A = this chain, B = another copy of it.
Amino acid sequence: MNELAISLDTKSKVPLYEQIYQYVKQEIQNGRIPNGEKLPSTRSLCRFLEVSRSTVELAYEQLLSEGYIEAEPCRGYFVSELEGLYQLKPQNQKVLDDPDKKCVQYRYDFSPSGVDLKSFPYNVWRKLSKESLMDDRAELFRLGHPQGEWGLRNAISHYLHQARGVNCSPEQIIVGAGNDYLLMLLATVMGQNHKVALENPTYRQAYRLFKNLSYEVCTVDMDAKGMSVSELEKSGADIAFVMPSHQYPLGIVMPIRRRMELLRWAEQEGRYIIEDDYDSEFRYKGKPIPALQGYDNHEKVIYIGTFSKSIAPAIRMSYLVLTPQLLKQYQERSSFLSSTVSRVDQLILQKFIEEGYYERHLNKTRALYKSRHDTLLSALKGIEPVARISGENAGVHLLLTFQGGVREEELISRAEEEGIRVYGLSEYYVAPEPDSPATILLGYANMQEESIRKAIEILRNIWGVPGCESD
């Protein structure tokens, strides 16, 4: 080949070298310049195209580095052998709308996983965020400690000790982007070949996660005190995943005797308890129940906590407290994994805790949730002939167990017709529980008091609850 008849557009925004590169590349791709063909020299091509030699050199270099052409010393440039059909995939770029935007709107939503976001301390968070992004904090943008920053882990360990009776040093804490991630990480620490027992009903996310991580998973039935330890023993599981402070979804607080039975079960070699303490901050009678971890003398309890409920779900910060043995395993097997939380966010949260904002925020939201809780209970007054209330002493939801043969789906769909979303207990059962009476969960964290009153008034009517004459 003597020359390349490229029509260059000198007015185009595309640089000349790129026009040459693009042209030659396409000619090669289309097979118009065959394999093994010698290209014109840079010297001759630049004269022919009336461009500078460096422009042609740049184009050839790009073709060389992508492998379309090859340079042979003293001989020149040759088209590489590109066997087989080869085509650039056609562009199918469109501007697309978010497909998740269309979803059913409810007038009232009693979501049990709601959080009141109006009370999120925006001003404080913004202030702390600004402070954390000062110009001289370049260090903050380097990769941090895989377990999370020491300052934050220190603040969490103090908080856990004071508020939850958890005994741990900052070394044992791993900060991570949510419970799901931390349980995945924990699986890398514990390795394969475990059988995990979960309460039934339970937090389905945890069940699916353990399944997904290829663990053998089983469920253990609950009585009024929580997971049955004799059933647990029979199950053959070596790991028990429990929520002793406030079981989700049943709201059961595990009494001390059951806790001790559970700890005794775990004493056997190789057994562990994972304690998920997801919303123990919210308790309306007396002080919070101390965590199971605080009673553990044999280093058998792995504690997992989150700021999703107590601050906001979207800040994505949770923490794991490992036992000393598992910490050793973590250091050997998994500490090469980078942290999943931005250091800026960690610093904001550390300041939030250390400067007393967290405590104030907890007190504020606890008071708010308590008054919503009280409003809900008072709106439900007189419901007993129809349904029994349970799980109302803690957390941000309660349960209504309906007497008689009414079906859960019917209760839910009748509420839905009125624009009210309520949640059925059956969706939390992992193993089937066929004979249990219809049970509805009512979450109130994200409902204004006025909305609670209005929605419950409608629900009372459609559920046939006698009027509340005592109000």
The contact of A93 among B65, B92, B161, by CB within 8 Å, is B161
Whether, in the assembled complex, A117 has its beta carbon less than 8 Å from a beta carbon of chain B, the answer is: yes
- A328 in the interface, Cβ–Cβ < 8 Å? no
Task: Find A295's partner among B86, B92, B126, B340 (CB 8 Å cutoff).
Answer: B86
Query: Contacts A126-B130, A297-B89, A316-B340: A67 and B256 contacting too (C-beta < 8 A)?
Result: yes
Chain B residue contacts of A289, Cβ below 8 A: 65-66
Of all chain B residues, the one with the shortest Cβ separation from A94 is: B169
Q: Which residues of B contact A297 (CB under 8 A)?
A: 87, 89
Proximity string of chain A (115-145) to chain B, C-beta cutoff 8 Å, 1 when within and 0 when not: 1011010110110011001110111111111
Is the Cβ of A89 less than 8 Å from the Cβ of B285?
A: no
A interface residues, how many (CB within 8 angstroms) = 113
Contacts of A178 in B (CB 8 A): 338-340
**Is A286's CB within 8 Å of the partner chain B?**
yes
Q: How far is the CB of A244 from chain B (nearest CB, A)?
A: 10
Whether A286 contacts B167 in the complex (CB less than 8 A), given A130-B130, A314-B143, A336-B205, comes out as no
CA distance A344 to B133 in the complex (A): 14
In the assembled complex, how far is the CB of residue A227 from the closest CB belonging to chain B, in whole angstroms?
14
CB-based contact B88/A294 at 8 Å: yes
Asked if A91 and B144 sit within 8 Å, CB to CB, the answer is no
Please tell me which stretch of A5-13, A95-103, A382-390 contacts chain B, meaning at least 4 of its Cβ atoms lie within 8 angstroms of it: A95-103
Q: Are A81's CB and B181's CB within 8 A? A: no
Q: Which of A76-114 contact B (CB under 8 A)?
A: 80-84, 86-89, 91-96, 98-101
Bound-state CA distance A257–B66 (Å) is 9
Chain B positions within 8 Å of A416 at CB level: none
Chain B nearest CB from A462 CB (Å) reads: 28
A255 neighbours in B (Cβ, 8 Å): 65-67, 80
In angstroms, how far is the closest chain B Cβ from the Cβ of A40? Answer: 19
B170 and A181 within 8 A (CB): no
Interface centre among A68, A184, A192, by most chain B C-beta atoms within 10 angstroms, is: A184
Flag whether A188 is at the interface (Cβ < 8 A).
yes
- Given the complex, which residues of B lie within 8 Å of A130, measured CB to CB? 126, 129-130
Question: Which of A208-216, A232-240, A357-365, A425-433 is found at the contact surface with chain B?
Answer: A208-216
Q: Report the stretch among A258-266, A404-412, A452-460 that lies at the interface.
A: A258-266
CB nearest to A285 among chain B residues: B61
Report how far A262 CA is from B258 CA in the complex, Å: 59
Per assembly, the copies of the chain total 2
Report if A18 contacts B (CB, 8 A): yes
Q: How far is the CA of A91 from the CA of B18 in the complex (A)?
A: 69
A342 and B342 contacting across the interface, CB-CB below 8 Å: yes
Question: Hey, which chain B residues are within 8 Å of A133, CB to CB?
Answer: 122, 125-126, 129
Q: Is the CB of A256 within 8 A of B333?
A: no
The residues in A between 285 and 337 inclusive whose CB is less than 8 angstroms from any CB of B are 285-287, 289-290, 294-297, 308, 312-316, 333-334, 336-337
Q: Does A177 contact B (CB under 8 A)?
A: yes
Q: Quick one: which of A345-376 are within 8 Å of B by CB?
A: 345
Using known A-B contacts A295-B89, A393-B65, determine if residue A83 contacts B260 with beta carbons closer than 8 Å. yes
CB of A418 within 8 Å of the partner chain: no
| Contact residues in B for A177 (Cβ distance below 8 Å) | 177, 181, 316, 340-341
* Interchain CB contact under 8 A, B100 and A150: yes
Q: List 28 A-B contacts (CB under 8 A).
A: A17-B286, A18-B287, A62-B285, A62-B287, A65-B255, A65-B286, A66-B253, A67-B225, A67-B259, A80-B256, A82-B260, A86-B260, A89-B294, A89-B296, A91-B161, A93-B158, A96-B154, A101-B150, A122-B134, A122-B137, A126-B130, A126-B133, A129-B130, A142-B312, A143-B308, A184-B188, A315-B344, A316-B338
